Chains A and B, each alone.
Chain A
Amino acid sequence: MHKIKLRRIDFGGIFLYLFLTVFGLLMLLPLIYMAVTALKPTSELFLFPPRFFVVNPTLINFRDLLLITGTSAVPFSRFIFNSIIVTSGIVLGGVVISAMAAYPLAKHNMPFRSFIFNMIVAALMFSPLVLQIPQYLLISRSGLMNTYWAMILPYLAAPMGMFLMTQFLRQLPDALLEAARIDGASEWRVFWVIVMPMLKPAIATFALFSFISAWNDPYPSMVYTTVQEMKTLPLAIQTISGGVGVVARVGTLAAASFLMIIPTILVFVITQRMVLQTMAHSGLKE
């Protein structure tokens, strides 16, 4: 009797693993294909019949990528540099500003608290993309076009960051804060010395989301910049591809795309444990 039961559980378990593994690998296939294409020499790129895997891997595509200067003599490294500046500006600035907002919203009890919180949470319910036109007008009127500020400032006050950090902070005990206040620490000091370290998982989570969206978003540099040397990676890749639908330079393009995806994967692998810890508190209630 006992034996039969054991066998049945095993059966379901095997099926579960089989399903997850097959489906999971299927999901990874396009990414694997990209990596493989980036390693293909020209002779293998345009084979007929098409071949999935690479036979003679080479790094020539990556070398080409760093050597091509695009259509306007801007080296590829410049785009990488721009992306790094803009993304780190958004992530670092966004983390500090959101954490500063989350602290009083979670731990202080001042007038308008729930009004402010509800207002910002309401902003989660629509995409900032619909605000692109007035944001563009504001940026262009204030003379910020073609600066890093234009690509950073509109994205700093992220409702998602405030929301995740406030929810996370709410379920942490007040005892430490009280102890520090009794010792005579100012609120500013309490924030940096006690709140920020406690918030670490929420910060990692928001940093991941904010990094991914900032790094991948082509809109800011599409809308707020008009000169080549201020463009960021997503737009540069578009330029390399030579427009929509053109399949020339597949190898170089795959190498560029591959380089662009690597950082997001690394950030996820580093933060994933803390992310799950935070997302458990991400629930919305009426």
Chain B
Amino acid sequence: MSSEIIVPAESGHPGLPAAEPGKWARLWSEIKKNKVSYYFLAPFLILFTIFTIVPIIMSVVLSFSYYNIIETPRFIGFSNYKLLFVDDDIFLQAVGITLKFAFITGPVGYILAFLLAWLISQIPQRFRFFYTLCFYLPSITSAVAMSVVWLYFFAGDRKGLLNHWLIQLGILNEPYLFLQNVDSIVPVIIIVSLWMNMGVGFLAFLAGLQNVPGDLYEAGSIDGIKYRWQQLWYITVPSVKPQLLFGAVMQVVSSLTVFDVSMRLVGFPSPLYAGHTIMAHLFDYAFTRFEMGYASAIAVLLFFLMFGLNRLIFRVLGRD
């Protein structure tokens, strides 16, 4: 309600100043009347401005400059972006790897999280905790801590558990270098990421599914719904749509920023840049070469990629 008063006042500011002085005065008195509300918001908004809004503006500004921390930034127009798309083959490769990764782990992880949450919601309450724990625990572990397990599991010699099993089964004759071979690096990162990917979305689904009103299902069975999958598709999915949207947003953000797993498993930079993601490229330029302007251009692109994709998801899923 309040926003309806604000929006026109804000957008049409210097154009008609004398026309409506009452509007500004009214707004100001509204703000003064509610000053306690703003006191409550102040700590959050101050920190949010310093560490989120200002950095967004800084990133955009820096992305048009050459800046190496020592000299003052020098304005160079669109050169960074031109360099990224025309000359930087490794960046284009990183975009390819990131998208390949995101288009597999994103949807697969998302659907898997939802299906598992749905299956868990089908069993009695008292057994749910154990299964929730099984599926959620991997995602609260850190990539760094788990690397000790994965490095050993995928190790390229006979002591590697996976190689050992595959040789025993007769599938392989000699150990395969899972972590060094260009062909297997992305699949390995995908598998490990899927394993630790249930995350926030899974919990949101689980909670949403518990709260679907039971009489919806009764009404459904009267209307002729017989099978569980029909129930799932016609009743359950529509009732947890807000949670689905939330989960999708979280999934996009996490799929596009993979870096930890790749860095810990295949190294940084990875062999022939086969596990090089956009995030890895950003980190490389920002904190090993200190080319902040160039790295900012990468950050800005990644920012718009995430934001754009999420807006798209909202368009598609958010419609009623």
Is the Cβ of A285 less than 8 Å from the Cβ of B203?
A: no
Interface flag for A19 (CB, 8 Å): yes
Is the Cβ of A265 less than 8 Å from the Cβ of B299?
A: no
Interface flag for A73 (CB, 8 Å): no
User: Chain B residues near A225 (CB, 8 Å)?
Assistant: none
Enumerate A209-238 residues with CB–CB distance to B below 8 Å.
Answer: 209, 212, 215-216, 218, 222-223, 234-235, 237-238
Is the Cβ of B58 less than 8 Å from the Cβ of A241?
A: no
- Residue in A16, A17, A110, A235 whose CB lies within 8 Å of B30: A110
User: A126-B306, A257-B146, A280-B208 known; A30 and B153 CB under 8 Å?
Assistant: yes
CA–CA, A101 and B44, complex, Å: 6
Interface flag for B120 (CB, 8 Å): yes
User: Chain B residues near A283 (CB, 8 Å)?
Assistant: 204, 208, 240-243, 245-246
Interface flag for B207 (CB, 8 Å): yes
Is the Cβ of B3 less than 8 Å from the Cβ of A115?
A: yes
CA–CA, A49 and B179, complex, Å: 20
- Which of B83-91, B92-100, B130-138, B213-221 is found at the contact surface with chain A? B130-138
Interface flag for B70 (CB, 8 Å): no
- What 0/1 readout, one digit per residue, does chain B (122-135) give for beta carbons within 8 Å of chain A? 11000001111111
Interface flag for A187 (CB, 8 Å): yes
- Counting contact residues on chain B (CB < 8 A from A), the size range is 35 or more
Nearest CB on A from B101, distance (A) = 15
User: Chain B residues near A261 (CB, 8 Å)?
Assistant: 140-142, 145
Question: How many residues of A are in contact with the other chain, CB < 8 A?
Answer: 104
Interface flag for A130 (CB, 8 Å): yes
- Residue in A120, A282, A285 whose CB lies within 8 Å of B48: A120
* Residues of chain B at the chain A interface (Cβ within 8 Å): 1-3, 5-6, 27, 30-31, 33-34, 36-38, 40-41, 43-45, 47-48, 50-52, 54-56, 58-59, 62, 69, 116, 119-120, 122-123, 129-138, 140-153, 155, 158-161, 164, 179, 195, 200, 203-204, 206-208, 210-211, 228, 240-243, 245-246, 249-250, 252-254, 256-257, 259-260, 263-264, 266-268, 279, 282-283, 286-287, 292, 295-296, 299-300, 302-303, 306-307, 310-311, 314, 318-320
Q: List 10 A-B contacts (CB under 8 A).
A: A24-B130, A27-B195, A104-B38, A125-B306, A133-B62, A134-B55, A157-B45, A261-B142, A285-B245, A286-B320
